[in-house]
Amino acid sequence: MSHDSELNWAGTLEYSAADIIDATTIDEVSSLVAGAERIRALGTRHSFSDIADTDALLVTVTGIEPDFVLDEEARTVTVGGGTRYGILARFLEDRGWALHNMGSLPHISIAGAIATGTHGSGNGNGVLSTAVSALEIVISDGERRTVRRGEPGFDGLVVGLGAFGVVVRVTLDIQPSFQVRQDVYRGLPWDVLLDDLDGVTSLGYSVSVFTDWVEETIANFWVKTRMDAGTEVVDEWRGAKRDIVSAGALWETSDDNLNEQGGKPGPWLERLPHFRLDRVPSAGDEIQTEYFVPRAQGADAIRALRALGPKIAPHLMITELRTAAADDLWLSMAYQRDSLIIHFTWKNEPKAVKALLPQIEEALAPFDARPHWGKLNTVDAATLERLYPRLPEFRALAAEWDPTGAFRNDYLDRLIFTGE
């Protein structure tokens, strides 16, 4: 099946591809890639940047069967790259297994999420890409190539930005299933957050702090506690009180698309994501921006942004602050540094947002803020060169895997392969 034109999930980005083809088998992907001069893979369209776009051919793998392969001895699961995280999570939970982390949306595709370094939350939790132990990729001649953790180039291939080929199968680490409770706290004083950011973000397995930047106290924060961790859940913490009634919608979304937040324990897949798989996520009509800064400098980064609060607030739905553990994946936003993740969900006001982004990026520049590859930003190639010390090796690896440039697009040419 093909389309003449398509939009991203929020309707804020139109793809410029000559055609979008929904592949239904890996063999079909192979023949499409082999026959195309230029081609890109498109996932569940949750990106706000033009990272997946091309003026040539787009192929989706979201219609290919998951074909789950569970290896309990190795503690891994292999699955189709276009499968949504929520679908894989259900398969695993039904068999007593779990992933280490989930993004706020269970609707996103596995291959798309890992290619862009998409993350989830938790001081001790690596981004979703850190669970990858093997990738099966259709390369430019249409052949399938598998690369495993520990093999040369693996750490460059995982957060691959689509530069190496079409990821059709992914092997992920798994662990025994666990229960999580989610509690909402309100009224956290700003000075507590700024003086003890680590204290706030270590209150649970995964913590999300929400703000509009101009409120007198923090709107609320969500604490996701693993029931097997022995962590005590308190009703009050340094001025913030647990809301035992409801979470309430934070922005223009309805309560019934959120996962249970009243402190009732439930399976990991129904607590770690903010949103339910069987509902439309978030607000939909929105723009998203996100930056990773070193967690040790997180409070100073927040202070710098608070100064811009009056400019940010009129165009903002909500900001979410989360964390991620350091990793060794070359183009991961958390590469070799524990990170604070500063996320903006904007109203669909592209002109105002694009005017604000350079000011936000200037405020965050002292902290070497790395933008999310799939979110809107104005960071240039020279800055990325400085932020990612392994970029030269990434380019060399891409040239080896894709010598004809079949998977290149304007995004990669503009930001990664400059000067070629």
Share above pLDDT 70 across residues of the chain, in percent, rounded to a whole number: 90
Who has greater pLDDT, 157 or 8?
Answer: 157
Cα separation, 233 vs 265, in Å, equals 12
Q: What is the pLDDT of residue 261?
A: 74
- Name the nearest CA neighbour of 325 among 310, 336, 338, 341: 338
Run of H or E including 211: strand 206-211
**Three-state helix/strand/coil letters over 119-149:** CCCCCCCCCHHHHEEEEEEECCCCCEEEEEC
Cα separation, 215 vs 190, in Å, equals 9
8 Å CB contact between 158 and 114: yes
pLDDT in tens, 176-186: 999 999 999 99
Which of 34-43, 239-248, 323-332 is least confident? 239-248
pLDDT in tens, 329-365: 999 999 999 999 999 999 999 899 999 999 999 999 9
Cα separation, 318 vs 254, in Å, equals 14
Strand partners, 173: 76
Q: What is the pLDDT of residue 3?
A: 45
Check whether 131 has a pLDDT greater than 90: yes
Q: What is the pLDDT of residue 281?
A: 56
Cα separation, 135 vs 146, in Å, equals 6
Q: What is the pLDDT of residue 135?
A: 98
Share above pLDDT 90 across residues of the chain, in percent, rounded to a whole number: 78
Cα separation, 209 vs 214, in Å, equals 14
Q: What is the pLDDT of residue 53?
A: 78
> 3-class SS at 272?
coil
State the greatest distance between any 2 C-alpha atoms of the chain, in Å, as a whole number: 62
pLDDT in tens, 180-237: 999 999 999 999 999 999 999 999 999 999 999 999 999 899 999 999 988 889 999 9
pLDDT in tens, 30-65: 999 999 999 999 877 666 677 777 888 899 999 999
Q: What is the pLDDT of residue 255?
A: 56
Q: Which two tokens stand for residue 375?
A: 């979110």
Check whether 253 has a pLDDT greater than 90: no
Cα separation, 149 vs 157, in Å, equals 10
- Name the nearest CA neighbour of 273 among 260, 287, 291: 260
pTM of the model: 0.94
Q: What is the DSSP letter of 203?
A: S
Cα separation, 101 vs 90, in Å, equals 14
Q: Which two tokens stand for residue 57?
A: 């051919």
Q: What is the pLDDT of residue 405?
A: 96
Q: Which two tokens stand for residue 194?
A: 């700024």
> In the structure, what pLDDT confidence band is assigned to residue 107 with cuts at 50, 70 and 90?
confident
Who has greater pLDDT, 321 or 51?
Answer: 321
- Averaged confidence pLDDT in the chain: 91
Which of 113-127, 263-277, 358-372 is least confident? 263-277
Who has greater pLDDT, 163 or 253?
Answer: 163
Stretch 267-282: mean pLDDT: 78
Q: What is the pLDDT of residue 187?
A: 93
The angle, 0 to 180 degrees and rounded to 10, between the axes of the packed helices 350-364 and 298-306 is 130
pLDDT in tens, 374-403: 999 999 999 999 999 999 999 999 999 999
Cα separation, 70 vs 196, in Å, equals 41
